[in-house]
A and B are shown apart, each in its own frame.
Chain A
Amino acid sequence: MINYKRFLLENGLKVLVHEDKSTPLIAMNILYDVGSRDEDPSMTGLAHLFEHLMFGGSVNIPDFDTPLQLVGGENNAFTNNDITNYYLTIPSENIETGFWLESDRMLELDFSQKNLDTQKSVVTEEFNQRYLNQPYGDALLKLRPLAYKVHPYRWPTIGMDMAHIRNTNIDQIKKFFFSHYAPNNAILALTGNIDYDLAYKLTQKWFGPIDNRPMKVRNLPEEPDQTEERILTIENEVPSTALYKVWHIGARKSHDFYTLDLITDLLAGGESGRLHTKLVREKKLFSEINAYITADIDPGLIFIQGKLMKGVDIQNANNSVNDVINSLLNYNGIHEEIEKVKNKFESSTVFSNTSILNKAANLSFFELLGDPGLINDEVQSYRSVTYEMITEAVKRYFTSSNCSTLNYISTRKE
């Protein structure tokens, strides 16, 4: 059980505090309710570029990292489709430095042209490193626009075209900041060796004086139901052919999220998952195969992706994946497997919540979903999934008209 207290500042900042005196450290997590889904289609990648800019100096502090390192702190951040999340850990005696740093960059950045130019280049190299210079690195760049036709999830967080990043100017950056970064669009979580009273006092002192700001109203186009199967085949100089399949699912808060999570664990959780057992070990069609669901706030996807063994026909591989999915409808032996993945989920939740950073990030994200108490309910939600719920979800979601397939064909001669 993770105990926490919450309070709300007058300027709209939501705050959660969880005391854990077993560590000498404090984790500080700030979630901003802005992600790549909030971008203009002609200016994608801005939310992530902005994350980089947040380390380039704020109105009263020329450099974010050095003062933090000076008090033994460490920090990082990530951006995804939905959120931008900043986190740091710091020895508890110096936590006030964390408040000073984080509140100043919420107040205002210094918007330096030099920093913008450098970070455009860094992000371009990040794009090259992750997407262009890796075998299969571009697969998700192809798959997203196949699955999503309208919703902003159709582009990746880093941006759909590096020209968007190159063309960004300082005025657009300022506008983005003042329409997305504000106390009333943020959640602060503090976990570890901190008292609630101190957390309250320091939050009031450093974040209290920041005025709330009018935020851009989120009005995203809804992805229409997919009505027929989509298949894209591309050829490339890679060592093996790979298969990627996705199916649309509901939003993060929809009632069958945990059912679908459990289904992907039956398929691919651990060495004993069905896809691995049947297709890697028994039939030897794949060298590796994985399945997972995105935890996107808006309607997301189930992913299955695998690399084929040499000489395996892609159609055969594809049919075999569908056979394994359909095997979940067979009653035989599945109850023990359901119990197995529930035990594993419980275990992995306990392990995940030993980290103050994970606890801070989870509390923030669940607060964004509307209820931080979900952090303590997850295991029960997952445990309450029944065989009937599983079969119903398999029948509903794993249909061919709901599926997009990317055949990534190796042109290499062996």
Chain B
Amino acid sequence: MNNLQRIQPPVYPAEKVIIPKAKSIRLNNGIPLYLIEAGTEDIMRLEFTFRAGQVKENIPLLSSTCNMMLSEGSQNFSSEELNRSLDFYGVFLNQSAEKDSAGIVLYFLNKHIEKVLEFSHEILFRPVFPEAELNALMKKRLRWYMVNREKVQNLAMDNFFESIFGRHHPYGYQIHEHDFEKITPGVLSDFHSKFYTPENMAIIISGKIHSQTADLLNSHYGHIVLKSLNNEAFVNLPASEKLKKIHVEKSGTVQTAIRIGSMTINKRHNDYPGLKVLDSILGGYFGSRLMKNIREEKGYTYGISSSLSSLDLTGYKVISTEVGQKYCQKTIEEIYREIRLLQSVPVKKEEMDVVRNYMSGEMVRMFDGPFALAESFKSAWEFGLDNNYYYSLAEKIKTVTPDEIIELAKTYYKIDDLYEITVGSE
């Protein structure tokens, strides 16, 4: 045993990803329901998603406040009763409002499904937006906001979104203190009646699906009457600001937050899978070029990453880091140097192999278990895509060539198009 040769074991190629298909049905009133069977425990994840994100709001904070107020009192229950009951049945309720969609996700043990359906129906379709709860919430949110705006990373991200999506677009505008005074029960119930509607929603349930699961959902949600109103808000396309470099001075800070990026294609575009690979090489995993250079080689930061995100109307890419103040300019120079390298020098086979295999492993993790499956399903479905999107991504990961990477870097990472935000003390 002691003369074991400590050499690398053989590397086996990742097995082909097989993604369980979601079962798609419609409730009696037409609400789409997707069922994903997975996992060994008798648990469920139930998501109600609505096209009710920030993009639909006409005043700042409206979408997020409407979503947060859903559990603050309904026709039959006070906020306290709702919260106490959900806790009593061991239910975890997540409310969230994002740029495009908003909704709730509930995690629970199967034996409590009837209660969950009863309370979720109250929360989603019978909220009353009581004024006292609203005022208390807005005061709290103002305090959270003031703490968050002290953090350089939040200030940098807010300024980045404003720059790339424009100061008038809901994807981009920043929140100001006076915005917390403008939300009234009236505007909330108006927003709710327009966007939290059966025709604007979908249900995704995953976990240990039982034979009666679909029937139960139908009996609680299948009878809600469709309104067949035209509720589409008029939506402008985001338009970037002209100024590409912004520094926000924040005195007394020891690190500077950097955000570099711009609007880009989203996952409906054919180049997106290839761009995903490029993004990974640049800054999408621990072995990425930015991480190796800025953290592991130079020690300027605890972390640096790049990411690629899809929105309904567009997409964006962003490189994010917080670095020691004295390293800020050097870091920015290195970021541009890494981009130029990707535009001019082919990625070597060894590095391509690492990123291909790492990303193939990530794809296994994306479909492992009921929660990951539901999230991956939703993030394709929202764009009108299905599992074929993931199969073509998997294929691209295996086949994209170094020359294609150069072309993608030249097309989508033009340095003159990038926005550069820094927040810290100069």
Contacts and interface: CB of A to CB of B under 8 A. Distances in A.
Contacts of B322: 125, 129, 133
Contacts of A134: 150-151
Contacts of B1: 204-205, 208-209
B423 to A, nearest CB: 11
B216 interface: no
Interface string A309-353: 110000000000000000000000000100111011011101101
Contacts of B84: 272, 340
Contacts of A89: 365
Interface string A22-64: 1111000000000000000000000000000000000011000
Contacts of A290: none
A365 B4 CA distance: 30
A231 interface: no
B146 interface: yes
Contacts of B83: 270-272
Contact of B11 (A71, A120, A136, A240): A71
Contacts of B285: 69
B88 interface: yes
A212 B107 CA distance: 45
A288 B6 contact: no
B43 A73 contact: no
Interface string A340-381: 110110111011011100000000000000000000000000
Interface in A64-119: 65-67, 69-74, 89-91, 93-94, 96-97, 99-100, 103-104, 107, 117-119
A239 B143 contact: yes
Contacts of B109: 346-347, 350
A90 B4 CA distance: 23
Give the interface residue-count category, chain A: 35 or more
A291 B358 CA distance: 39
A65 B38 CA distance: 31
B115 to A, nearest CB: 11
B387 interface: no
Interface residues of B, number: 75
B6 A129 contact: no
Contacts of B384: none
Interface stretch (B232-240, B296-304, B398-406, B408-416): B296-304
B302 A129 contact: yes
Given A347-B108, A354-B43, A239 B301 contact: no
Contact of B143 (A22, A65, A287, A346): A287
A257 to B, nearest CB: 21
Contacts of A354: 39-41, 43, 369-371
A126 interface: yes
Describe A's contact surface by its main secondary structure.
Answer: helix
B190 interface: no
Contacts of A99: 9
Interface stretch (A175-183, A276-284, A384-392): A276-284
A238 interface: yes
Interface stretch (B51-59, B250-258, B261-269): B250-258
Contacts of B418: none
B324 interface: yes
B346 interface: no
A113 to B, nearest CB: 13
Contacts of A70: 11, 353-354, 357-358
B136 A94 contact: no
A318 to B, nearest CB: 18
A121 interface: yes
B361 A74 contact: yes
Contact of B299 (A117, A129, A132, A269): A117
B87 interface: yes
B217 interface: no
Interface string B147-171: 1011110000000000000000000
Contacts, number: 213
A118 B296 contact: yes
B364 A125 contact: no
A20 B40 CA distance: 9
B89 A343 contact: yes
A307 interface: yes
A336 B355 CA distance: 53
A348 to B, nearest CB: 7
Contacts of B364: 24-25, 72, 91
B397 to A, nearest CB: 11
A100 B6 CA distance: 7
A206 interface: yes
B299 A281 contact: no
Interface in B1-48: 1-2, 4, 6-12, 14-15, 38-41, 43
B11 A24 contact: no
A66 B149 CA distance: 37
Nearest to B133: A281
Interface in A202-259: 204-206, 208-209, 237-240
Contacts of B286: 65, 69
A288 to B, nearest CB: 7
A150 interface: no
B376 to A, nearest CB: 14
Contacts of A20: 40
Given A119-B299, A339-B88, A72 B80 contact: no
A71 B357 contact: yes
Interface in A1-22: 20, 22
Given A69-B286, A120-B299, A122-B302, A133 B255 contact: yes
Contacts of B249: none
A326 to B, nearest CB: 21
Contacts of A240: 143, 146-147
B140 interface: yes
A254 B174 CA distance: 50
Contact of A25 (B7, B8, B87, B368): B368
A81 to B, nearest CB: 20
Contacts of A208: 1
A118 B8 contact: no
B299 A122 contact: yes
Nearest to A60: B6
A272 to B, nearest CB: 4
A237 B252 contact: yes
Nearest to B255: A133
A91 B15 contact: yes
Nearest to A114: B297
B360 interface: yes
Contacts of A400: none
B361 A93 contact: no
Given A122-B299, A350-B43, A269 B87 contact: yes
B187 interface: no
18 contacts: A61-B8, A69-B358, A72-B364, A73-B361, A74-B365, A91-B15, A94-B12, A96-B9, A117-B299, A118-B296, A121-B300, A122-B296, A133-B253, A239-B146, A272-B80, A310-B139, A341-B87, A346-B109
Interface of B: 1-2, 4, 6-12, 14-15, 38-41, 43, 71, 79-80, 83-84, 86-92, 107-109, 136, 139-140, 143-144, 146-147, 149-152, 252-255, 285-287, 295-302, 322-324, 353-355, 357-358, 360-362, 364-365, 368-371
Given A74-B361, A133-B322, 4 more contacts: A23-B369, A69-B357, A70-B353, A70-B358
Which 9 residue pairs are nearest across A and B when measured between Cβ atoms? A72-B361, A121-B299, A347-B90, A287-B143, A239-B146, A271-B83, A96-B9, A69-B358, A126-B302
